[in-house]
Amino acid sequence: MVRTGGWDWDRVSDAFWRDPSEDVYYLLHRWTGQARRSILDLGCGLGRHSLLFALYGFDVTALDASESGLHRLEAAAAKLSLSVHTVHADLTKLPLDAGSFDCVLAYHSIYHADSEGMAAAMDELHRILKPTSEVYLTLNSKANPTYADPGNVVVDDHVRLKEEEEGGILPHYYCDLGDVRKLLARFTIVKLRHIEDVYDDRSSWHYFVLAARG
């Protein structure tokens, strides 16, 4: 298994990683209306989404493989007088009880794994969710230009080793639509989108999936 590791968040300055995604405001509204309260921010990074859900009264657990990100989240939560439980762990082996969460957010995080690690992460995700709970996750698409980038190391049909913006090299798992359905075979897909984000000189394709645990 390729090591997933974690980002060195002390070397990241892009505001993208500090401001909540617009998708997450919809989830905040949806999950508040459904009276869900316990949430796992899986691969929380700097904790932009953990802080948002904590601000609105959710019982937040923030998990990441990066200690630097968790330390910065803890400082931000303390400054805002918010309660966030942080956990330093790899997403392929979660030190969390079965059936612990009403909802899980895995935003640009769960695909940082090789094929074996991705299967383990999906098993763990299913294990820690309550029955009828929901998960929102993003998955790398094989339409993403980085999938075919000759500068990345090919591990297998799904996995590329890619340099991150903070300099680390991590595995990235890529899917097509059939792969997405296989990964979520034990879930009911509520909403599935295939989206291209366009930046100044590049674009990036991801699947955005809202699913319910059976």
- What does the domain layout of the chain look like in residue ranges? 9-213
CB atoms within 10 A of CB 86: 20
> By the 8 A CB rule, do 88 and 68 touch?
no
For residue 209, give every residue at least 6 positions away whose Cβ sits within 8 Å of its Cβ, in sequence order, or none: 135, 136, 137, 138, 139, 180, 184, 189, 191, 192, 193
pLDDT at 167: 61
The pLDDT of residue 164 = 73
For residues 92 and 122, give the distance between their C-alpha atoms in angstroms, rounded to a whole number.
8
Task: Evaluate if residue 3 carries a pLDDT over 50.
Answer: no
Q: Could you tell me if residue 9 is left (phi over 0), alpha (psi between -120 and 50 degrees) or otherwise beta?
A: alpha
DSSP for 103-142, written as a single string: EEEE-S-TTSS-HHHHHHHHHHHHHHEEEEEEEEEEEEET
Are the CB atoms for 1 and 159 separated by under 8 Å? no
Contact in structure between 22 and 80 (CB atoms under 8 Å): no
How would residue 10 be classed by pLDDT, with cut points 50, 70 and 90? low
32-91 per-position pLDDT tens digit: 999 999 999 999 999 999 999 999 999 999 999 989 899 999 999 999 999 999 999 999
Which class does domain 9-213 fall in? alpha beta
Is the pLDDT at 175 greater than 70? The verdict is yes
Q: Can you list the pairs that 191-197 forms with residues at least 24 positions away whose Cβ atoms lie under 8 Å?
A: 194/141, 194/143, 196/143
pLDDT in tens, 147-167: 999 999 999 999 999 887 656
pLDDT digits (tens, 9 = 90+) for 110-148: 999 999 999 999 999 999 999 999 999 999 999 999 999
- Does pLDDT of 186 surpass 90? yes
74/79 Cα distance (integer angstroms): 9
Compute the Cα dihedral for 117, 122, 123, 125 and give only its sign: positive
Distance of CA 190 to the CA centre of its chain: 18
pLDDT for position 165:
66
